Amino acid sequence: MAEALTSSISEAKHAQRMEAVHRISIRMTECLDPDEVIEEVLDHSLELLEARHGSIMLLDLFDGVLTIKTARGLPEEVVRSVQVRPGEGIAGYVAQSGEPKVLPKGFKDRYSQTDEAADEMDAALCIPLKARNKVIGVLNLSGKTNGGDFSPEDSSLGRILASQAAVAIANATLYEATEQKMRELEALYNVALALTASSRQRDQVLREVLDRAIELLHARNGSLMLISEDGDYLDIVAANGLAEEVVAKVKPRLGKGIAGYVALSGQPKVLQRGFKDRYSETGARADAVKSSMCVPLTTTGITLGVLNLSDKRNGRDFDGDDLRLAMLLANLAAVVIEKATLYHNINEMFNDSIRALASAIDARDPYTEQHSKRVSEYSMIIAEELGLSEEQVDQIRIGSLLHDIGKIGVKEAVLLKPGRLTDDEFVEMKGHPVTSGNIMSPVRRFKDMLPILYHHHEAYSGRGYPHGLHGEDIPLHARIVAVADTFDAMTSDRPYRKGLPLEIALAEIKKNVGVQFDPKCAEAFLRAVEKGRIQLHK
């Protein structure tokens, strides 16, 4: 009778367990969040198999080690630090062999790596998580709540649960990976658009590359380093999370340190938390080292620099997927950086040529030396006061530097005449705006600046030259330069007079608002003077 009752109770318990496994299986199939699946698997396993402690370890495909993804009853430092290679320890043996291990209480297996004495060891159960005939991890349980050992039924139930759990984890991981790939593709497309849109400004491109990398790879800190012109060392050209003195001082030589090694070899480096590579030059203790990644910026077989990222936001290490994404981003960024650098160099050559031409014009008249430079500075400040874009301010900078280039066609006798010009001489002088425009019109880059050259002597009242344009028919950039040009002309020394004092020059500007000058441009000029942004050059 007692045996029949015991058998009946055992059968009822088995039925309850199988019903629970069925419910768990349905629940795990519905869930598509790998982290959530892993948590539920462990909690259900502990409950069904009546264990006090447990953990789930998954095999990292990048470095081939088992790491604890979730645990119950284990110290936090153990969860963070334990990494097991297949074949090492109980979990490593199970992962490698694909066979479970059942250990009775007080028994120390030859694969055990713990320092505990045998008589202190709890009963344990370690089961492989297999999906598509591949081990993806292990389920570890220990310490039966009744103080005994895990039974054959426990082992059998654990294998069923582990089998279903492995499929659920694999499916959820695959779903998450697919979703992540879609997000990455969309993000990379957006990065390409953003970088291409800002490719003309190298500093913007560098900042954009770093910001996008930190965002995409969930890092807290990062830096972008480019190889110096002499090819000897790396310069930090953009940084996030680094102190200013570090940015200014750190210049690793090629081949030295992590960044120097990556720049020289063209091979990426991924470092795990608490690990100091032989190339590391930091003085930090190993246990204080954050997870980090350094990838080369390479295009057409040439390494331009490196991208450094560190301290992943979820507290984990960077993995193979992170490295793959970082390399894709780095390759894309390298092409855009190369393009931006080329444009930057061409732009600098263009600016050097403009400055040289402006100096050549000013050199014809020693009494107006540096006139073009001052007019350019004043014009840019007025444009900024008016809230114009950076691109417009730069157009005004360049155009105003060459606003008088047409004077190269004016005879020196007229240009350098110390006294009042005759009517014929004045007609010749008035022709210089058209000559300026005609000289620069074949230069495609100068297309947007031509209105400055042609119209900076037009008057708001319509009485200016060369075309007698009126009011807002005069291009805005020309109206701005007209104020700056007149102010500098009034305050500069000439052979036949001294430059006017600031107060008198300002009074003349105010007097001619709406007559010679656009009221908005004149008011912006006066505001700049009041703020101290425009002062007389000594």
Asked if the structure places residue 10 within a domain, the reply is: no
Give the model's confidence band at 487: pLDDT under 50 very low, under 70 low, under 90 confident, else very high.
very high
pLDDT tens for each residue of 7-38: 444 665 556 666 666 666 666 666 677 788 88
Query: Residues 67-77: what's their mean pLDDT?
Result: 88
Burial 286-310 (b: 16+ CB within 10 A, else e): eeebbbbbbbbbbbeeebbbbbbbb
Residue 112's domain comprises: 16-177
Asked if the structure places residue 412 within a domain, the reply is: yes
| The pLDDT of residue 191 | 65
pLDDT tens for each residue of 378-410: 999 999 999 999 999 999 998 998 888 888 777
Asked if the structure places residue 314 within a domain, the reply is: yes
pLDDT tens for each residue of 233-277: 999 988 988 888 888 888 889 988 889 999 999 999 988 876 666
pLDDT tens for each residue of 125-180: 999 999 888 898 999 999 999 989 998 888 888 888 888 888 888 887 777 777 77
| The pLDDT of residue 530 | 93
Query: Residues 39-59: what's their mean pLDDT?
Result: 89
| The pLDDT of residue 488 | 92
Asked if the structure places residue 348 within a domain, the reply is: no
User: Could you tell me if 252 and 310 lie in one domain?
Assistant: yes
User: Could you tell me if 165 and 69 lie in one domain?
Assistant: yes
Choose the final residue of a domain: 143, 177, 211: 177
CA 378 to centroid of chain Cα atoms: 35
| The pLDDT of residue 280 | 63
Domain count, the chain: 3
291 or 508, which is more confident? 508
User: Could you tell me if 26 and 155 lie in one domain?
Assistant: yes
CA distance 305 to 333: 11
Asked if the structure places residue 182 within a domain, the reply is: no
Q: Where are the beta strands (DSSP E) in 132-181?
A: 134-144
| The pLDDT of residue 168 | 81
User: Could you tell me if 288 and 381 lie in one domain?
Assistant: no
> 225: Cβ–Cβ under 8 A, 6 or more apart, which residues?
234, 235, 236, 237, 252, 259, 263, 305, 306, 308
Asked if the structure places residue 189 within a domain, the reply is: no
> 328: Cβ–Cβ under 8 A, 6 or more apart, which residues?
184, 188
The most confident of 67-76, 208-217, 496-505, 511-520, by mean pLDDT: 511-520
Give the model's confidence band at 279: pLDDT under 50 very low, under 70 low, under 90 confident, else very high.
low
CA distance 52 to 165: 19
User: Could you tell me if 403 and 325 lie in one domain?
Assistant: no
User: Could you tell me if 68 and 122 lie in one domain?
Assistant: yes
Predicted TM-score of the model (pTM):
0.49
Asked if the structure places residue 383 within a domain, the reply is: yes
Q: Where are the beta strands (DSSP E) in 247-406?
A: 269-271, 292-299, 302-312
User: Could you tell me if 224 and 271 lie in one domain?
Assistant: yes
Residue 424 carries which DSSP code? H
99 has a pLDDT exceeding 50: yes
User: Could you tell me if 245 and 108 lie in one domain?
Assistant: no
CA distance 54 to 520: 75
pLDDT tens for each residue of 343-357: 777 778 877 877 787
310 or 184, which is more confident? 310
Supply the CATH number for residue 383's domain: 1.10.3210.10
Task: State the average pLDDT for the chain.
Answer: 83
Supply the CATH number for residue 45's domain: 3.30.450.40
User: Could you tell me if 397 and 524 lie in one domain?
Assistant: yes
Query: Helix (H, G, I), strand (E, B), or coil: what is residue 269?
Result: strand
Six token digits for residue 459: 């008057």
| The pLDDT of residue 423 | 79
Choose the final residue of a domain: 305, 339, 373: 339
- DSSP bridge pairs for 83: 67
Which range, of 257-261, 340-344, 459-463, 504-508, averages the lowest pLDDT?
A: 340-344
Query: Residues 99-118: what's their mean pLDDT?
Result: 78
60 exposure class (CB count in 10 Å sphere: 0-12, 13-18, 19+): middle
Are the beta carbons of 401 and 359 closer than 8 angstroms? Answer: no
Six token digits for residue 273: 């938390």
82 has a pLDDT exceeding 80: yes
Give the model's confidence band at 213: pLDDT under 50 very low, under 70 low, under 90 confident, else very high.
confident
Asked if the structure places residue 142 within a domain, the reply is: yes
| The pLDDT of residue 471 | 92
User: Could you tell me if 173 and 65 lie in one domain?
Assistant: yes
CB neighbourhood size of 151 (10 A): 14
Query: Residues 319-346: what's their mean pLDDT?
Result: 81
User: Could you tell me if 405 and 476 lie in one domain?
Assistant: yes
| The pLDDT of residue 283 | 54
Are the beta carbons of 524 and 378 closer than 8 angstroms? Answer: no
Q: Where are the beta strands (DSSP E) in 73-200?
A: 83-84, 101-103, 124-131, 134-144
User: Could you tell me if 140 and 202 lie in one domain?
Assistant: no
pLDDT tens for each residue of 292-317: 899 999 988 889 999 999 988 877 78
